[in-house]
């Protein structure tokens, strides 16, 4: 089961996502309506065509109008998309909590993919499963059913398999895998996984953060609304517009696991963020660098995430202070030296030393040595 600190971290992740969505979505919706209204005014679109275009945009976002309101302009109210987005993200928060808990459980070897909710017009998830499985045959079984009937299992795959991300419309390894899909996952043990034909692996990767792939896409958003979004979210968002006018708003995930180079991560952690998104990884790093005891606290989880993101790993042997190694159970950060000198006499050859110069420099943190070894890697 998750600890109180882990549950608090996930709750913080969800609060960040909610703030990001609330900052992006109104501007996206407003631009969509402004564009359609402008085309109607210029004669480029009829009123009916504009209605149909907006209705299609909402359909792609997963919105299904109530039977009593179908066909009316009330179907196209801007709050509907926001409602759909927020409900989907709430479902993602639930899916992520379960997935995080299961992936940290040593008894979880794989997941089964099954239909948990019935649908009048279910999608062909068996075909989608087999397409996603291409090249991953050793990690996932072939589809064993259509998945049309509630309770039916479509297939089994290792918990760490890439098939889960390939299946997802949202690029996440946990449900929901699409809008209104009705599909879910459940953990299975090694015996059931082997019976399904899988070769069970004991490799257990650190789970990605809830917001590691968070982004929002739209077409033809105005520059004015882009600026409004940037003013609200500051360095929490990066905006990229392609030649086809498709604009992507990407969450920078300062407290999560979105991958960066060390230099890029340093830039993110030293950025200008709204007060609704405290820089918890940066705070944890400062605390640990100052010698603070963070093991077993919420700060230790954020420090773990930060150190896992660092890519630079110096070669060769390194040395730690014996006293630090002896106190490893109460500290999450151990300074090391590239030379055996002074108090640094304990040899470290694990290859897990992380270079932190870029982050330390960006955060104006002075360290006695330029590298650290997290306790969990000893």
**Residues 230 and 305 grouped into a single domain:** no
Contacts of 265 (CB under 8 A, 6+ apart): 306, 309, 310, 358, 359
Number of domains in the chain: 3
Contacts of 324 (CB under 8 A, 6+ apart): 331, 334, 335, 346
**Residues 86 and 118 grouped into a single domain:** no
Across the beta sheet with 334-337, the strand order is 346-348, 318-320, 334-337, 371-373, 354-355
In a domain, 7, yes or no: yes
Between 10 and 50, residue with greater pLDDT: 10
**Residues 190 and 220 grouped into a single domain:** no
113 has pLDDT over 90: yes
In a domain, 358, yes or no: yes
- Give, as one character, the DSSP assignment of residue 341: B
Which residue range(s) make up the domain with 145? Answer: 107-203
Q: Of the residues 253, 286, 315, which one is the last residue of a structural domain?
A: 253
HSE of 3 in the Cβ direction (CA atoms, 13 Å)? 9
In a domain, 262, yes or no: no
**Residues 19 and 79 grouped into a single domain:** yes
Model confidence at 84, pLDDT cuts 50, 70, 90, reads low
Contacts of 375 (CB under 8 A, 6+ apart): 295, 328, 329, 331, 332, 333, 334
Note the pLDDT of residue 278. Answer: 95
- Integer CA distances (angstroms), 98 to 40, 102, 186, 187, in order: 47, 6, 9, 10
In sequence order, the β-bridge partners of residue 215 are 250
pLDDT digits over 116-154, tens only? 888 766 778 889 999 999 988 888 888 877 778 888 889
pLDDT digits over 16-59, tens only? 988 887 787 766 665 665 566 566 656 677 756 766 776 666 56
Q: Of the residues 137, 172, 203, which one is the last residue of a structural domain?
A: 203
In a domain, 264, yes or no: no
In a domain, 273, yes or no: no
- Integer CA distances (angstroms), 357 to 91, 266, 313, in order: 39, 9, 12
Q: What is the mean pLDDT of residues 367-377?
A: 74
Note the pLDDT of residue 283. Answer: 94
**Residues 113 and 39 grouped into a single domain:** no
Model confidence at 337, pLDDT cuts 50, 70, 90, reads confident
Q: Is 234 left (phi over 0), alpha (psi -120 to 50) or beta?
A: left
**Residues 214 and 176 grouped into a single domain:** no
In a domain, 226, yes or no: yes
In a domain, 198, yes or no: yes
- Classify 294 as helix, strand or coil: coil
**Residues 115 and 192 grouped into a single domain:** yes
Out of 2-11, 226-235, 344-353, pick the least confident: 344-353
272 has pLDDT over 70: yes
54-61: long-range pairs with CB below 8 Å, 24+: 57/32, 57/81, 58/84, 61/85, 61/179
**Residues 80 and 220 grouped into a single domain:** yes
Note the pLDDT of residue 76. Answer: 37
- Give, as one character, the DSSP assignment of residue 208: P
**Residues 217 and 73 grouped into a single domain:** yes
pLDDT digits over 295-318, tens only? 778 998 899 899 888 877 777 788
Prediction pTM value:
0.71
In a domain, 260, yes or no: no
**Residues 363 and 282 grouped into a single domain:** yes
Between 284 and 33, residue with greater pLDDT: 284
Q: What is the mean pLDDT of residues 271-294?
A: 89
Phi then psi for residue 294, to 5 deg, are: -115, -10
Tokens of 347: 């040899």
Residues 61-92 as b/e (b if ≥16 CB within 10 A, e otherwise) read bbbebeeeeeeeeebbebebbbebbbebbebb
**Residues 70 and 136 grouped into a single domain:** no
Question: How confident is the prediction for the chain on average, in pLDDT?
Answer: 81
Note the pLDDT of residue 55. Answer: 64
Q: Of the residues 203, 227, 262, which one is the last residue of a structural domain?
A: 203
**Residues 25 and 147 grouped into a single domain:** no
């Amino acid at each position: 089961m998750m600890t109180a600190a882990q549950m608090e971290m996930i709750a913080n992740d969800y609060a960040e996502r909610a703030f990001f969505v609330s900052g992006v979505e109104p501007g996206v919706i407003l631009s969509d309506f402004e564009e359609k209204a402008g085309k109607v005014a210029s004669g480029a679109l009829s009123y009916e065509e504009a209605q149909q275009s907006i209705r299609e945009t909402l359909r792609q976002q997963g919105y299904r109008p109530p039977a009593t309101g179908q066909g009316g302009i009330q179907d196209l109210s801007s709050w509907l998309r926001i409602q759909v987005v927020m409900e989907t993200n709430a479902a993602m928060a639930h899916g992520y909590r379960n997935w995080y808990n299961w992936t940290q459980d040593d008894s979880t070897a794989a997941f089964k993919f099954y239909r948990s909710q019935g649908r009048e017009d279910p999608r062909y998830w068996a075909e989608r499963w087999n397409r996603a499985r291409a090249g991953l045959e050793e990690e996932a079984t072939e589809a064993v059913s259509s998945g049309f009937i509630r309770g039916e299992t479509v297939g089994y795959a290792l918990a760490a398999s890439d098939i889960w991300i390939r299946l997802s419309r949202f690029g996440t390894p946990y449900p929901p895998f699409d809008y209104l899909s009705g599909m879910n996952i459940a953990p299975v043990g090694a015996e059931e996984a082997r019976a399904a034909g899988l070769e069970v692996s004991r490799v257990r990767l650190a789970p990605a953060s809830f917001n590691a792939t968070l982004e929002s896409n739209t077409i033809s958003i105005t520059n004015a609304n882009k600026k409004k979004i940037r003013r609200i979210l500051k360095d929490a968002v990066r905006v990229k517009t392609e030649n086809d006018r498709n604009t992507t708003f990407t969450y920078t995930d300062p407290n999560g696991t979105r991958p960066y180079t060390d230099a890029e991560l340093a830039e993110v952690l030293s950025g200008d963020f709204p007060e609704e998104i405290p820089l918890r990884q940066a705070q944890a790093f400062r605390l640990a660098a100052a010698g603070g005891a963070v093991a077993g606290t919420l700060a230790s989880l954020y420090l773990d995430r930060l150190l896992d993101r660092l890519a630079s790993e110096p070669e060769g042997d390194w040395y730690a202070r014996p006293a630090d190694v002896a106190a490893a159970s109460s500290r999450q950060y151990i300074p090391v030296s590239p030379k055996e000198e002074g108090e640094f006499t304990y040899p470290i050859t694990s290859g897990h030393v992380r270079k932190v110069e870029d982050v330390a420099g960006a955060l104006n943190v002075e360290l006695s040595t330029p590298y650290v070894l997290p306790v969990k890697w000893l």
